[in-house]
Structure 1
Amino acid sequence: MSVESFTSLGKKIYNMSNPREARRCAVFVARCWLNYGRMKKIDAFYQQNEMRRELAEIYPFVYEQPQRAFFYNKSNFAERMRLLQEHFTFLEQKIRPEVLLDIYRENDQILWENEHEGEPLRLVIYYEPGQRKEGLLSVILRLGEKPLYQMIFWIQKDPQGEWAAYIGAMQGPNMDNAKDVIKKITKQCHAYRTKNLILHATQEVVRNLGVKHLYAVTNYGYYANNHVRMDRKLKTDFSEFWQESGGTACGDERFYELPLVEYRKTMDEVPTRKRAVYRRRFALLDEIDQSIAEAIRKMRI
């Protein structure tokens, strides 16, 4: 790799008409030289086969992400480099190359679909470069073209050496009438909260891909502070939601471990007046689970 190749990569990654982005490009090139040996190893990984070469061509951010303080708090260059390589090693062993490349071309892979007030309501696997600070894949609940909730995650080996998915962030809706929309979708899902639905869908996706564990970044582990308001109160309390979802704190305070299968109440645990709602909810979840399993089966090698 040469200064020309580093500069060419930088121009693919950054918008050079934006002065801030142009400065980031210059920093990127400088960091490439400072980490020349590591950059050669990164490049060697993506040159090993045709699929990886094409992936690096359509998603050049694989060269940038190890250099920046992404994914989780206090991650280092070596950890981020390993994270990316293990993520793509796992996926290339599980998913057909044309499907994997299609995801990184920013094309939805539909997992389940329904309708809400004449608009398609879908769960999809999706990814775009704007999500690269928190992960390498997303499960998104979309209403039409608008994302309502999404889980951004990556896959790598955990400290015990087993394949695991790590949720780097959960993002909610960003629209003027978000509360009204979410209220209506929750009602349509039989009083099942949309953020619980997106976690449930993520659990089903990663489980069907064959991972053995699911972890999530805590408030302390989040890589940045944009989930904290100016008054230091949390916009999103990740840790509280992970606890509500059956998560347990890890020895590393940056992560919770979550169950791979959502706990489902028995009818004996549900008040009599709510049992009809729960039956409809469980029927919907069974439909979603079956659809996700079939979609992943079609994607797999």
Structure 2
Amino acid sequence: MDNKYQWPQAMAIYPDRNNKTYRLKRLRYKLRSLKSYSNIKKFEQFMNENPDFIGLVNSHPNYSYPVVYRFLDKRFSAKQRLQMICENLTFLPNKLSELGHDPLWEKEINFGEVIPDFDLRLKINEFQPMEGYWNLELFYKPTEELIYLLSFGKIEQSLLIAVIQGPNQEGSKEMVKLLTKKCHGLRPAYLMVEAMKSLTQLLGYENLQGIPQKYQNKSRFVQSKHYAVNYDTIFSESNGVLQGYWQLPLSLENKNLDDIPSKKRSMYRKRYAMLEQLQSSMKEKLFLS
């Protein structure tokens, strides 16, 4: 493992691939780096004062890029962004270390099956770290297909959902429909929000927030005009209240069964039992029970 951190070269982040040049992206990276020279030096100092994280950031050069561009929220100033990046690199690994876990970049945490053949995992973000360094990911086990992901971060004393995204490949819509049916009518995006509520509580936080649509850093995991995520809709329908960020309740979805049509009550009972079992499994896998 490298024991010293230095700001990555442009070619490390944007190497040419498949006979395609990324020269312009490298130029843009260099210009942004020049503009943010003072913050880069502060970040280098921070990293070298926290050597436990050097291996992660050196092996993922794009983890450095948010210092000079965007991180979690488009509204952050350069100073805010640097502060958030330093806090976000360390808060979750430090908490998991306290609980007796290996670093996530060495070993993910598998929370087990939400329903048969679909499991939930806590991992590093391999896709777009400007949207957060940590992910909850839902996998279809028979094919190891990533079905949904949620990227999150920490802002002050709250956790923030920065991304909720699903797949965009052949058969994906059918898979999402199947998952919704198996989850007793709960759509995958909302399942991910419910899982994040549980994780927030188990990590000891009292507040969970969601990024407003207009301040979200667009995810690269899904790029399709036919498949769009509206964060405001998801968080509003998850009983969120917009106050700068969407303020989300931490209690799991649990409607009064008397207010639900009798023909749907069985479905809701099974849904609530599924969410309670998931929370119990997450608690056990985090070494909290």
Whether the TM-score (by the shorter chain) exceeds 0.5 is yes
Letter in 2 for 1:85: C
Q: What is the Cα deviation at residue 37 of structure 1?
A: 2.1
Match of 2:120 among 120, 123, 132: 123
Q: What is the Cα deviation at residue 248 of structure 1?
A: 0.4
Q: What is the Cα deviation at residue 148 of structure 1?
A: 1.6
Unaligned residue ranges in structure 2 (runs of 5+)? 1-5
Match of 2:139 in 1: 142
Length-normalised TM-score, structure 1? 0.81
Q: What is the Cα deviation at residue 212 of structure 1?
A: 2.2
Separation in 2, partners of 1:210, 1:152? 18
Aligned residues: 279
Separation in 2, partners of 1:196, 1:77? 32
Match of 1:241 among 234, 238, 243: 234
Secondary structure in 1 matching 2:38: helix
8 Å contact from structure 1 (residues 61, 129) kept in 2: no
Separation in 1, partners of 2:92, 2:71? 20
8 Å contact from structure 2 (residues 115, 183) kept in 1: no
Separation in 2, partners of 1:245, 1:201? 12
- The yes-or-no answer on 1:172 pairing with 2:172 is no
Letter in 1 for 2:242: A
Unaligned residue ranges in structure 1 (runs of 5+)? 158-162
Match of 2:111 in 1: 111
Separation in 1, partners of 2:34, 2:285? 43
Match of 1:286 in 2: 276
Q: Structure 2 matches for 1:211-222, cutoff 5 A?
A: 211-222=205-216
8 Å contact from structure 1 (residues 70, 223) kept in 2: yes
Match of 1:160 in 2: none
- Give the CA RMSD over aligned residues: 2.9
Q: What is the Cα deviation at residue 291 of structure 1?
A: 0.5
Q: Deviations over 1:91-123 (max 9, x none)?
A: 24301299564x336x6421122665xxx3111
After TM superposition, the runs of 4+ consecutive aligned structure 1 residues lying more than 6 A away are 225-230
Letter in 1 for 2:241: T
Match of 1:14 in 2: 14
Q: What is the Cα deviation at residue 228 of structure 1?
A: 9.9
Separation in 2, partners of 1:33, 1:228? 30
Separation in 1, partners of 2:185, 2:80? 40
Q: Deviations over 1:196-240 (max 9, x none)?
A: 21111111112211222111111222234989987xx99322112
Separation in 2, partners of 1:224, 1:277? 34
Cα 1:56–1:25 shift into 2, 3 Å: same
Match of 2:3 in 1: none
8 Å contact from structure 1 (residues 58, 104) kept in 2: no
Cα 1:71–1:114 shift into 2, 3 Å: closer
Separation in 2, partners of 1:183, 1:70? 32
Match of 2:247 in 1: 257
8 Å contact from structure 2 (residues 190, 234) kept in 1: no
Between stretches 14-23 and 129-138, larger displacement belongs to: 14-23
Length-normalised TM-score, structure 2? 0.84
